């Protein structure tokens, strides 16, 4: 690795598995001291152990980001303490994906999904960005989703939260960019961990038929894009949503 994040500190929410874990591992491999965060302490400890075994620096901070300002501020404070009082990078990755139809969505589910997917990163950013600016700058990367712009039948609630995050990305870039804090987003496509040899095709693979990539992506592909946006290589990139979706949203799909 090239040490692109050498000396940097980072908090990655929802990083005890899948995309968040891949981001935390990629950051640590490039020299960052990473706070791994999530609700499951056992999985978090395993991610930290793996990072340390590979020679990286990581700590686990438990957090249940329910959307309350208190939970987001508590994570900001505890993560900042674990990182020595300075946070250079924040990745708003944590999210939930209940997918009932609109008519079947009750208020409790609605509030839960907006709480985790929008309110929690909103108040976490509110707690972190001013401190980043006061310390001389930083980078925030949000996670969107391809279905925010190319809808699927059962995704109204979830896709609307990711649309909100893409809008917040641009608004925060305008608000915090002049203070030295870059804000961007990555919009993943259909992402699945590598399947065991001989496994049956995943239903998500059907949605990638006819795309330029022709197959699903892996968490590592998202991690590499987030790493670039968080690094100084993207110092002139503000308010951008990077589609990492195999061409699903940007290219006409010709079904086979």
Helix (H, G, I), strand (E, B) or coil at 124: helix
Distance CA 55, CA 28 (A): 8
Task: Give the residue numbers marked as catalytic.
Answer: 158
Nearest-5° angle of CA 176, CA 181, CA 183? 80
Distances (CA, A) of 129 to 175, 178, 213, 225, 230: 10, 12, 36, 21, 14
How far apart CA 21 and CA 191 sit, in angstroms, is 13
Token pair 């709480």: residue: 115
């Amino acid at each position: 690795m090239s040490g692109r994040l050498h000396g940097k500190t980072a908090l990655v929410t929802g990083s005890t598995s899948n995309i968040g874990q891949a981001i935390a591992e990629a950051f640590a491999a490039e020299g960052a001291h990473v706070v791994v965060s999530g609700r499951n302490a056992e999985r978090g400890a395993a991610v930290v152990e793996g990072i340390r075994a590979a020679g990286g620096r990581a700590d686990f901070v438990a957090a249940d980001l329910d959307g309350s300002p208190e939970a987001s501020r508590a994570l900001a404070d505890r993560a900042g303490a674990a990182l020595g009082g300075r946070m250079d990078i924040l990745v708003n990755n944590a999210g939930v994906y209940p997918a009932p139809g609109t008519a079947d969505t009750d208020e409790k589910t609605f509030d839960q999904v907006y709480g985790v997917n929008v309110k929690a990163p909103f108040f976490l950013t509110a707690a972190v960005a001013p401190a980043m600016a006061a310390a001389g700058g930083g980078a925030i990367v949000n996670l969107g989703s391809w279905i925010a712009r190319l809808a699927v039948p059962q995704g109204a609630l979830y896709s609307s939260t990711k649309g909100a995050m893409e809008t917040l990305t641009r608004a925060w870039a305008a608000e915090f960019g002049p203070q030295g804090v870059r804000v961007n987003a990555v919009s993943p496509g259909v992402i699945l961990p590598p399947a065991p040899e001989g496994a049956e095709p995943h239903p998500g693979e059907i949605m990638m038929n006819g795309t330029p990539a022709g197959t699903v992506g892996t968490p590592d592909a998202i991690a590499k894009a987030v790493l670039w946006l968080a690094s100084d290589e993207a110092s002139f990139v503000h308010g951008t949503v990077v589609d990492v979706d195999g061409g699903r949203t940007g290219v006409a799909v010709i079904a086979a």
